Structure formats: C-alpha cells, structure tokens
Amino acid sequence: MIGILGSGSWATALAKIVLTNNDEINWYIRKQETIDEFIENRRNPNHLELAYFDTSKINFSCDINYVIEQSDVLILAIPSPYVKLSLDDITIDISGKKVISAVKGMIADGNIRVTEYLNKHFNIPNDHIGIVAGPCHAEEIALERLSYLTIGCTDIKQSQEWCEMMSTKYVHTTPSNDVIGLEFSSVMKNIYAIAMGMCKSLHYGDNFLAVLLTNAMHEIMRFANATSDIQRDIIHSGYLGDVLVTAYSNFSRNRQFGQMIGMGYSVKAAQTEMEMVAEGYYGTKAIHVLNKQLGVDIPIAEAMYQILYNRKSPKMTIKELTQKFQ
C-alpha cells in the first residue's frame, strides 16, 4: 500500500498519478476539516481544484503515524520548510519503510538533504530511499498534460519498480541512480527560477535570460560534482528539463516570487501576497551555508542570497552579475 504525506498541490498531483495504477491509497492530511471538505466535494479544497478523486479509494487520516503504519511505500510531499516539523510527529519505527521524497528543498535545521535526513534520523537504508525530479508541474498533472518524471534511488532496480508504479498515459518515468545530483538540482532550480523572475521584472531580454540559465546549469553541475562523483548527464530532463520549466513557466511560484522582488517588493511582502511557499527562498540560504564548506563557484546562487537575505539591490546585484557571464 502506498501512503501520501502532504496536502499541497504537488502531493495532490502525486496522489492522482499513483491512483491511476493502484486501487487504494493512504493519505495523510494534517487538518481534519480539510479531509472532511475533500470527501464532500471529491477534490482538494485548497489546491488543484480541477483534479477530482474517487474518495472511496482513499483512506484519509490526520494521524501521520497511522498512515505510515498502514503503508509500505511512503511518498513525502510536504513543503521543505515544514518537513522536519511534520516528521517530528512520527513516534513509530519507520526504518523498514520505503520512502520517496518529492520535496523540492532541504531540511532547514542543519541544511541537510531530505534523503540524507531520512537515512540518518530514521535509519532507513539508502536503497529504500528515492527522489522524484523532472519537469512536472502539479497544475499540468491535474489537466493530464504530458509530463516526465525521473525517479532516483541508489538501487537502480528499486528505481525501476517505482517508475512502473508512477507511470501513466500522461506521465513518462525514467530511472536513475543519481540521488544526490537530482536532489541538489531540485533545490537549486528554484533559486534560478527566482533569478529569472527578477531579471524579467528588471526588463532583461530573452538573450540574457538564455545566458543566465546556461550559467545556472554550469553551477548545478559544479555543485553536484563537488558533492558526488557519480557520472551524470546534466542535460537530461531530470536536471535541465526541471530547471527550464521552473524558470519559464507561469505556474512557477519561485519565478513569481522573483518577479515580485524585482518589482520592489520586500521578501515578507512578496511571501504574504503570494500565500504560497516559494521554496527557493529557503533553498538559497541552505545552499549558501553548505557552500561555505564546499567553496564551489556559484555566483548566481550567491547573488540571490545577497538580495534575499542581505537586502542588496536586485538591480545593482544583477548588473554586477552580468559581467561574470560569457
């Protein structure tokens, strides 16, 4: 049995995918009133309202321990700022469970990767932990538009099994053994989407935006190579495709967040008006702190940190950044 942990748009999209190939799932949603409304209207009251569900196939619960206990495979799809807070409620042994992280960020406390946290904190073996990446906006899943997922696990056979579990007529899946590279790419792409949004508001044209993303891919490659020596193809859709859709799509909340900062909004004002989590804001700090140890050349990510956390001028900081590109 598969259990979904989370109630946001990405969790809802993943539940829709999984129910295509499974007769029944468990689903942890934190608030009972959300569950009640979901059952009554057959859709998530807060996200992806075009995605309707046969709720007779869903075992809802606001008790995370119950959902975990009743499930063999868990799909973790909680926004990164709240992952640790949610997992702190777990009081049972989950070391024997298989967990796929669909989190697009890092654990804020300690700036640790989610898969690493699952391994170290809950003693789940690495070959029982997976990562979901790739160009796959939740909003397009709701509309059943063709999408692509890359599912990573150190055990490639396990990755292939999970690919079969999540493959549908509108979702193509690809296995990978590059958990670390995919995970860092999923974190960093949100940083570059913020940068794209800022540059758009500052009236930079398509030529510059293409150069910006080209340099962003080099930053991801350098950072991933500094943390793991595994062979990887950075232009694969699990990396480049995910970056492109997050940077260019109007569905991208990180791009929207960047646009607002570029227009002159403060971080707090932008977050309040959006009413959604732009995970790149938190990812920017996590990568900055981690890079103090690694010393990788990532000027775009560093520029975003200076703007978002040190209140540097977006206009001046981006202008300085342009001189570093080729």
pLDDT on residue 251: 85
Superfamily of domain 2-177 in the CATH hierarchy: NAD(P)-binding Rossmann-like Domain (3.40.50.720)
- Give the residue extent of every domain in the chain: 2-177, 187-322
Q: Closest by alpha carbon to 218, among 206, 229, 228, 226?
A: 226
* Residue 190 vs residues 69, 82, 254, 270: alpha-carbon distances, Å: 33, 17, 6, 16
pLDDT at 306 over 90: yes
Superfamily of domain 187-322 in the CATH hierarchy: N-(1-d-carboxylethyl)-l-norvaline Dehydrogenase; domain 2 (1.10.1040.10)
Per-residue pLDDT of 253-274, as tens digits, reads 999 999 999 999 999 999 888 8
pLDDT on residue 110: 74
pLDDT at 229 over 90: no
pLDDT on residue 108: 77
pLDDT on residue 49: 85
Per-residue pLDDT of 166-208, as tens digits, reads 999 999 999 999 999 999 999 999 999 999 999 999 999 999 9
Evaluate whether 224 touches 175 at the Cβ level (below 8 Å). Answer: no
pLDDT on residue 106: 92
Per-residue pLDDT of 131-169, as tens digits, reads 999 998 888 988 899 999 999 999 999 999 999 999 999
Burial of 210 (0-12, 13-18, 19+ CB in 10 A): exposed
Evaluate whether 28 touches 62 at the Cβ level (below 8 Å). Answer: yes
